[in-house]
Structure 1
Amino acid sequence: MLIDDRCRAHEKSEADLGRVSPPPPIGGCEVPIVEQYLPLIQAGMRVLEVGCGAWGLIRDRCAAVGAHYEGIDTVQEYFGVKSVATRFENLAELSFADDFFDLVIGNQTMEHWNEYGCRTDWGLYQCFRVCKPGGQVLLNVPIHYHGTRLFLLGDIDKIRDLFTPFSSAVTMESWGKDSGPIAPYYAHPNYSRLKNKSAYNLDIRSVKNRPLPTGYTNKGASSGWKATYLGNPKSYVMHRLLCKLGASSTNYPVPPDQLDRLKALIREQTQASRV
C-alpha cells in the first residue's frame, strides 16, 4: 500500500494496533497479512488465536460471520489495552482438546514462544494437536528482526522442517523482503551476521494432513535471559551485552577496560534467570 513511495500500510498498522509499530516493512505488513486470513474464517468454524494480544481483528471477524473464537495469551494488557484472550495460559500447557479447531492462527508470536518457557517445536506440536485433520495452522513471523535463532538468522529451511512432520502442504510467502521503493530496514546493522540482511515478514500456512507425530516434549524449556542465551548465537548474545555497555559489537576483541564490566553483566543476567 504505497502512496508517493510512502508505506500507508505502516500508518494503518499503527492506527489499527494503537501503538508504535516497527519501521516498514516489518510493521507495515503485519495488518495486510492478517487481513488475508479473514476470508478463511467461515460460519460454524472454531478458531484459536495464539498470543492474541489486544488486537481484536480475528475475534471480530468470528463474531461477524458466526464462528466460535478462542484466544490465549499470558499477558492481560498491552499498551494499556485489555487483551482479547478468552483464556490466560501458556501455549506450553494448552488446555483445549485434540482436534478441536478448524483454524489456529498466530500473528508475530511463534518467534517468542521459546522466550516464555515453550520450546518452538513443542508450541507447534500444540497448535497441530488442537487443529482438526484438514484444518489449517496460519503463523506469521518477522525474519532478521528478533526472536530466537531460526527467526533472527532467517534459516527458512529449518523453519519449514518444523512443519513437515505435521503437514505435506506448507506454503511460505515473504512480505517486504524486496522492499523497494521503500528503503530496506536493517534491524541490526552493527551485528556482523546481519549487517547486510534486511528484516521482513514471513507468512507460513499449513494444512494438518498427517497423523500427529509422537515423541514431542517441552523438556529443556527455559525462559527470560536464559532462553535468550541458549536460543541465540553466542555472538548475538555478546552483541546485545556490548550494546548494553554502550560498546560496538564490531570491536573484537573486547577492549580490556570493558571486559570486567561485561563479565559482571553476564553474571548478573545469569543470576536473574535463575530466580
Structure 2
Amino acid sequence: MNQTIETILNHRSIRSFKKSPLSEEEIHTIVKSAQAASTSSYIQAYTIIGVRNPEKKKKLAELAGNQSYVEENGHFFVFCADLYRHENIGKWEGADVMASLESTEKFMVSLIDTSLAAQNAAIAAESMGMGICYIGGIRNDLEAVSEVLGLPRHVIPLFGLAVGYPANDSSVKPRLPLHAVYHEDGYKTDEAAMKAELDRYDETISSYYHERTGGKRSDRWTEQMAKMLSGKKRMYMKEFVEKRGFNKR
C-alpha cells in the first residue's frame, strides 16, 4: 500500500477546523489538482468558486442548514456544473450549441466532470494534512445560493467543500462491504444474499455509533436509509435545473 492509497482509505469528514486560512499556494494547488481530473471530451464543464467574504460564508452557512463549518474553515469552495462558457463559445464561434447544452447527456457530463474534479481536490487537500467536508446542504435553496454567488444561466452550484486543518480528529466511518458494491460480469440480484450482507453491515454500523456516542446512538444503516428515503427532500430540483437551462431535452 502506498501513501496515496493510505490517504484515500483514511478519509473521514472533518467538521471542526483550526482558525488558519489556507495560503494562496495551498488554494491554487487544490484547484490545479481538481483541474487534473478526467473530463468528458475535454469539456471541463465546471467552475470552482472560492468564498472568502465573511458575510457570504455566513449566509451560505445559514442556507446549508446552519452548519457552522461552512463559515468556519480554512477555505470554502463551491463546485458548480458550468455550461455558461460553452454557451458563449457557441456565440463566439457562430455555432448552434443550445440543443446540446440543454440535453440530458450534457447535464450528466457537467455533473460527472464537477464530481471528478471535486474528489481530486479533496484527495489533494487530505494529502497535505488538511481535512474536508462535502456540503450538500447548499442545495436546500439553490436560488438563494445562486444569488449570493452571482451565478449566470447554465451554472448550477452542486455542493460545497469546506477545507482546513482539523481542530479535532474523527474516526473513519465503515463503508459497505466490498462485495455489496463490487460485482463481476453483471449485477448480482440475489436478494437473500444482499439482505444477509446488509444485516452484517448493520451490526457493524450500530456498534460504530454505540462506541462513538457512548451508547447514546446505535441505529442501523438500513434503518437510516429507510427513514431518509421515506421523506421528500429538495423536490424543487427538477424545476430549478430546467430553469437554469439544463436537462430540458
TM over 0.5: no
Query: Which one scores higher on RCO, CA 8 angstroms, separation ≥ 6?
Result: 2
TM-score, with length taken from structure 2: 0.27
TM-score, with length taken from structure 1: 0.25
- Structure that is richer in helix per residue: 2
